[in-house]
Amino acid sequence: MVIFGASGHGKVVADIIKLENKFSIDCFLDDAEKGDSFYGFPLYLREGYFQEIKNLFIAIGDNKIRKKIHGEFNVNFPSIKHPSAILSNSVTIGEGTCFMANSTVNADTKIGKQCIVNTNASIDHDCVIGDYVHVSPNASLAGNVSVGELSHIGIGASIIQGINIGKNVMIGAGSVIINNIPDHSIVIGVPGKIIKKNE
């Protein structure tokens, strides 16, 4: 496995890959010059790396950058899961998605490609999570919630049942969402209120 993204997020991803023990880590790649090693593994600039890549994990927290990089490679993108994460057998998962420590995803939920379900995040039954979504640590989604592509659910945010979150939405840390949120909105507060457009 090659990990794209030499950052703190990349360290967490590397730990999960080592714990899963399904892949060995070959190296990290990055687009910025950061030396020749990272977290105990070789580090290469993408433009200077000419080995064949079979399996790649994109360890980039920013949804839009993760989507861009995903479109630039034609390789296998395995999903990874921390051993303490709990997923129902009826959950469907897109490629390249990560489930971090103590995350929980319940029955008949659909998770898109290249998503991050972060530490202690909870996603209940029958939710639909679009591609390139990040559900931050300790965020909680009740049942039948939908989240559109490229949206970010902030740390500790709570979303009540049956809510629709649009595309490219930013939910602020600790916010409580009790109403549907349209595309391209930035929302903060208890209860959550739209404060501006997410350009």
Does 69 carry a binding-site annotation?
Answer: no
Q: Is 70 annotated as a binding residue?
A: no
Helix, strand, or coil (residue 69)? helix
**Long-range contacts of range 160-168, CB-CB < 8 Å, 24 or more positions apart?**
161/124, 167/130, 168/198
Cα(144)–Cα(162) distance, rounded to whole angstroms?
5
122 is known to lie in a ligand binding site: no
96 is in an annotated binding site: no
Q: Which residue has the tokens 């999903």?
A: 79
Q: How many helices (H) and strands (E) does the chain have?
A: 2, 24
Which of the residues 82, 125, 152, 184 is marked catalytic?
Answer: 125
Distance CA(7)–CA(44), nearest Å, equals 13
70 is catalytic: no
193-197 and 140-141: which strand pairing?
unpaired
> Among all chains, which residue has been given the structure tokens 């990089």?
69
On whether 152 is known to bind a ligand per the annotation, the reply is no
**57 within 8 A of 75, measured Cβ to Cβ:** no
Sequence ranges of the binding site for acetyl-CoA: 134, 155
Residues serving a catalytic function are 125
| Residue ranges at the known binding site for substrate | 7-9, 61
Binding site: what residues are annotated? Answer: 7-9, 61, 134, 155
